[in-house]
Amino acid sequence: MAENSNQRWINLLQEPVDITSAYRFLQTPAAGGISIFVGTTRQWTDGQETISLAYESYEPMALKEMHRLVDLAENHWPVHRTCLLHRLGKVPIAEASVLIGVATPHRPEAFKASRFLIDQLKIQVPIWKRELFSDGQEIWIQGANLPDPPNS
Amino acid sequence: MPTSSFKIRLFSVLKSKLKVASIELKTTEEITAGGLMDLACEQYPPMAPYRSIMRLAVNQKYVQDSNRLQDGDEIAIITPVSGG
């Protein structure tokens, strides 16, 4: 395989995120660094206990936005492999809800691309989290920012 | 001017408030993304408190409120997302 042929694995999952498979996918001789960020479901937020957590998505659009973000990352940094996985439906406490993985020649761009992808995913990709708290409250969580139209 | 009909997909908090996954709006005038969201809030008052945090997605892409809509566009109202 040519060194410059980038590969990506982008998916929405109903099953647990398989971190080992993601790592295997990211391995390439072109990379000197692989960064894997895993977002997990937190039990306590500001003294409130979360009992369970579920994600819903506008799936076809979510996949398109994930691809668009990877396009942007590939335009900014020499990213040889990218992995963006998000789990949907119920995710038990402490399990992985999202995985961002990048393989780059050197570590600075691995950290930068990974940070960009998770930060942008949390603003742009149409996925929403519903939390059930121990006091019986069940609420949709809303992000702080409206998603941006491209090129705005 | 013929009537245009728009099916609008709803998610998250809007779907919960309205208890439906989509609504249908008709208009006899050309309409922008912002205009369609205003109309949705008029016809479905439980949506109105969320008007300032709505973004329209047309054919699975976010658009500015000034964007004009075409008959047959796939439309969804997106409130701030919370994946991750």
- The ipTM is 0.96
Q: What is the CATH number of the domain that holds A119?
A: 3.90.1170.40
Question: Count of domains in chain B?
Answer: 1
Say whether A122 and B84 touch across the interface (CB within 8 A). yes
Residue pair A78/A112 in contact by the 8 Å Cβ criterion:
no
Chain A interface includes B22 (CB < 8 A) = no
Asked if the structure places residue A62 within a domain, the reply is yes
Residues with Cβ within 8 Å of residue A34, at least 6 apart in sequence: A23, A26, A27, A81, A101, A102, A103, A110
How large is the C-alpha radius of gyration of chain A? 16
Residue B84 belongs to some domain of the structure: no
Domain assignment present for A84: yes
Residue B44 falls inside a structural domain: yes
Q: What is the identity of the amino acid at A126? A: P
Residue B83 lies in a domain: no
Determine the structural domain holding residue A114 and report its residue range: 7-136
Asked whether residue A151 is domain-assigned, the answer is no
pLDDT digits (tens, 9 = 90+) for A104-120: 999 999 999 999 999 99
| Residue A109 token pair | 């761009």
For the domain that residue B61 is a member of, what is the CATH number?
A: 3.10.20.30
Q: Examine residue A87 and state whether it is found in any structural domain, yes or no.
A: yes
Q: How far apart are CA A10 and CA B2, in angstroms?
A: 41
Residue with tokens 């996918």: A25
On whether residue A42 sits in a domain, the answer given is yes
The minimal CB distance from A128 to the residues B62, B64, B82 is found for: B82
Residuewise pLDDT in 10s, chain A (152 residues): 444 468 999 999 999 999 999 999 999 999 999 999 999 999 999 999 999 899 999 999 999 999 999 999 999 999 999 999 999 999 999 999 999 999 999 999 999 999 999 999 999 999 999 999 999 999 999 999 999 998 75
- The answer to whether position B53 is within a domain reads yes
Establish if B32 touches chain A: CB-CB under 8 angstroms: no
Residue B82 has its nearest CB partner, among A64, A143, A152, at A143
| pLDDT tens for each residue of B41-71 | 999 999 999 999 999 999 999 999 999 999 9
Kindly state whether residue B9 falls inside one of the protein's structural domains.
yes
Residue B75 pairs in a beta bridge with B8, B58
B39: containing domain: 4-78
Who among B12, B60, B81 is closest to A123 (CB)? B81
Q: With contact defined as beta carbons under 8 Å apart, do B22 and B47 qualify?
A: no
Walk across the sheet containing A81-87 and list its strands: A7-13, A81-87, A96-104, A33-40
Number of structural domains (chain A) is 1
